[in-house]
């Protein structure tokens, strides 16, 4: 078996979305698992619609998820002279020809056919044209497609595909301004880059017979094709931005981890027994494009959140600290990290949630929940908070860990003749200003007695103001 060479070839007319990243991942896994090459090509021949930002975002996405590629990035916009050589070759060999039929006439014929309920296709009128070319008309170049027989290929996902030659026409390979068309440049590039296997979305299935015609016309080796069904929303419709069809880098902004996103995507269209969680090494060990599903996959946000929580929980303090600056969070001291991070991880599905809870814990309370304030605002709770502040100030040695903080709360409750649980709500109000969040003892231990006293003092001022 020859060395596997795969490629990912996005167009920079828009940002890289998760469907594209899934395609890239399948190609990456197949090449890497077999000691082959994974190539990256930017299909930027549409000069009017290209976006430099989108081009950069594609490279950023690859860097973020940790998918490397072999060699330099190939840009189609830098290869126009190469494409022209092959167009000239096909014209010289009589396998392509100039077509002088103008756009207005094509549009008219197409509309007339549609009005009759017919499928329109070009009638090959200039296929064997030898007369004097019409003056002032810039021709397109068309390939001479076969007029009989079938175009056949074995698709690794969909099985054998047969297309009757009569269903195809002499399609355009170069526009009237000289720029080559999509199917032409893809065929040239895949052949010259030595691509052996093309894994792509099944929206490209209709392009494959045309590309095979070009492979044959140029005597190129035809690669193996795998056309993967699209990712659909839970209702079985095309994925929209609301469903999750965002750019890959938006997932980073929303607090998702790259390993969770890749694990999520690999399961959209591929499976290995009943396994749900895959490390990158396991993906490499088990992935085979012949196991790709022929049925479409449904996007499931809850599944992605579940996976993200799984990977988030596995991060240690050092790993989390490298991620926090992106989300505008300051890295707390070592003690706070060791106490709070495990607590917050248990309550978070994304890094955004993690950061939000962390900031709530470590930042002085600015706003107090009104409903909670009304519940806490009574003489008994105000008295308990005042007494607890005095109790903390009297401690000779500050609590050093969560267990000691728990013990101080329990000792204070016994002294006051109350259950410790009944004191949690007013204390939580004083320390966080809202319900939820981490446990009270871990929070006290992370903050230290001085900060706890300051927050109680501030809360008492709020409670006294609401009384007046």
| Separation of alpha carbons 372 and 375, rounded Å | 5
What three-state secondary structure class fits 174? strand
Strand bridging mode 231-232 / 159-164: unpaired
Phi and psi (nearest 5°) for 268?
A: -90, 80
- Which phi and psi (to 5°) does residue 384 adopt? -65, -40
Chain mean position to CA 397: 50
* Of 241, 301, 314, 371, catalytic: 241
Which spans in 327-401 are helix H? 334-346, 351-362, 370-376, 379-394
Q: For residue 44, which of 52, 36, 34 has the smallest C-alpha distance? A: 52
3-state SS, residue 15 = coil
Q: Is 375 annotated as a binding residue?
A: no
How many residues in total does the chain contain? Answer: 468
Tokens matching residue 71: 């060699």
Q: Is 241 a catalytic residue?
A: yes
- CA angle centred on 323, ends 318 and 328, rounded to 5°: 125
**Which residues are CB-contacts of 335 (< 8 A; sequence separation ≥ 6)?**
445, 446
- Strands 150-155 and 140-143 come out as unpaired
Rg (CA), the chain: 32
Q: How far apart are CA 445 and CA 447, in angstroms?
A: 6
Token reading at 342: 């495990």
The residues that are catalytic are 241
Q: Which residues are annotated as a binding site?
A: 241
Q: Residue positions in the annotated binding site for ATP? A: 241
């Amino acid at each position: 078996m020859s060395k596997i060479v795969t490629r990912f070839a996005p167009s920079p007319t828009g940002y890289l979305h998760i469907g594209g990243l899934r395609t890239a991942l399948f190609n990456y896994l197949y090449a890497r698992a077999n000691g082959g090459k994974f190539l990256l090509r930017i299909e930027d021949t549409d000069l009017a619609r290209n976006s430099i930002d989108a081009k950069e975002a594609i490279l950023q996405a690859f860097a973020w998820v940790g998918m490397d590629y072999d060699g330099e990035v190939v840009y189609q916009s830098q290869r126009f002279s190469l494409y022209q050589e092959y167009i000239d070759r096909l014209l010289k060999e009589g396998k392509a020809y100039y077509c002088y039929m103008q756009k207005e006439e094509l549009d008219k014929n197409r509309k007339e056919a549609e009005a009759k309920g017919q499928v329109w296709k070009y009638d090959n009128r200039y296929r064997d044209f030898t007369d004097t070319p019409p003056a002032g008309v810039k021709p397109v170049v068309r390939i001479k497609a076969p007029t009989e027989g079938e175009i056949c290929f074995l698709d690794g996902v969909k099985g054998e595909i047969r297309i009757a030659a009569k269903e195809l026409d002499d399609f355009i390979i170069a526009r009237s301004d000289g720029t080559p068309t999509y199917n032409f440049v893809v065929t040239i590039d895949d052949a010259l880059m030595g691509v052996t296997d093309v894994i792509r979305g099944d929206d490209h299935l209709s392009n494959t017979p045309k590309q095979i015609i070009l492979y044959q016309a140029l005597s190129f080796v035809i690669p193996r094709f795998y056309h993967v069904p699209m990712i659909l929303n839970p209702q079985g419709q095309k994925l929209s931005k609301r469903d999750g069809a965002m750019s890959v880098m938006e997932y980073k902004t929303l607090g998702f981890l790259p390993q969770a996103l890749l694990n999520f995507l690999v399961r959209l269209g591929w499976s290995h027994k009943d396994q749900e969680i895959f490390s990158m090494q396991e993906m490499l060990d088990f992935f085979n494009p012949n196991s790709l599903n022929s049925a479409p996959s449904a996007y499931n946000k809850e599944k992605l959140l579940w996976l993200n929580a799984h990977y988030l929980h596995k991060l240690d303090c050092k790993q989390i600290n490298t991620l926090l600056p992106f989300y505008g969070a300051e890295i707390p001291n070592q003690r706070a990290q060791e106490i709070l991070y495990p607590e917050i991880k248990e309550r978070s599905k994304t890094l955004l949630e993690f950061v939000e809870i962390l900031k709530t814990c470590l930042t002085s309370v600015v706003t107090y929940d009104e409903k909670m304030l009304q519940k806490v605002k009574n003489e008994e709770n105000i008295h308990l908070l005042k007494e607890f502040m005095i109790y903390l100030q009297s401690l000779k040695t500050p609590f050093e860990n969560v267990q000691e903080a728990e013990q101080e709360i329990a000792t204070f409750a016994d002294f006051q003749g109350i259950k410790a649980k009944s004191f949690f709500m007013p204390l939580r109000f004083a320390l966080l200003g809202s319900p939820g969040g981490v446990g009270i003892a871990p929070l006290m231990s992370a903050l230290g007695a001085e900060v706890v006293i300051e927050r109680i003092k501030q809360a008492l001022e709020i409670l006294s103001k609401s009384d007046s």
